[in-house]
Amino acid sequence: MHHELPVSDARDVREMRTADLDADGRHEIAVRLAQRLSLPGDISGSVARELLVVYAVTEDGVRRCGAVEVAIARADASVRAEVRWPRARGGPLEVRAGPVTGWDARSWPFSERNIRDEVHPIPLPWREPALLRLTVRDGRLVHAR
């Protein structure tokens, strides 16, 4: 069984680990990977982001459940989320708004229309929710109840 990751270079894989995100006794695979973005003309400069992509292993193979942004950077600004993994017995992944430099609520250049790829957006101090609690339900990475 094998699965290709959405990266252009092996160096773009930053971290790989397992965690039981739905407390069912089986671990999902979480991969932190880097991507470079091509965005609409109203956003200037090269933009990079890191995603935490969650996969489930099933009888049919490895299936992508979803992803959450955990970092976005441009030459003059960056934001990095704080990630808390569940304890050994399982539970939701927590992704909290982390340090931001060079951006604030007024200068934040991204919106839903800029990036359309079914990824949970990075939590920000000025946007609700500032804390995401994510679990796997019905094969998808969703907000925990």
**Termini Cα distance of the chain:** 33
Phi, psi of 123 (to 5 degrees): -70, 140
pLDDT the model gives residue 115:
55
122 vs 108: CA distance, rounded Å: 12
Could you identify the residue written with the tokens 């996969």? 55
Structural domains counted in the chain:
1
> Is position 138 within any domain?
yes
Single-letter code of the amino acid located at 59: E
Supply the pLDDT for residue 59. 86
pLDDT along the chain (145 residues), means of 10: 71 91 92 82 74 91 92 93 91 95 91 67 93 94 92
Evaluate whether residue 95 is within a structural domain.
Answer: yes
Q: Tokens standing for 39?
A: 């965005």
Residue 128 belongs to a domain: yes
Residue ranges of alpha helices (H) inside the chain are: none
pLDDT value of residue 45: 64
5 assigned to some structural domain: no
Q: Which domain holds residue 90?
A: 10-143
| Domain membership flag for residue 119 | yes
- Alpha carbons within 13 angstroms on the beta-carbon side of residue 64 total 13
Token couple for 93: 């992944």
Rounded Cα–Cα distance for residues 85 and 66 (Å): 16
Q: Is residue 134 part of a domain?
A: yes
Query: CB within 8 A of 35, min separation 6: which ones?
Result: 6, 7, 12, 48, 49, 50, 51
**Which one, of 86, 78, 55, 81, lies nearest residue 70 by Cα?**
81
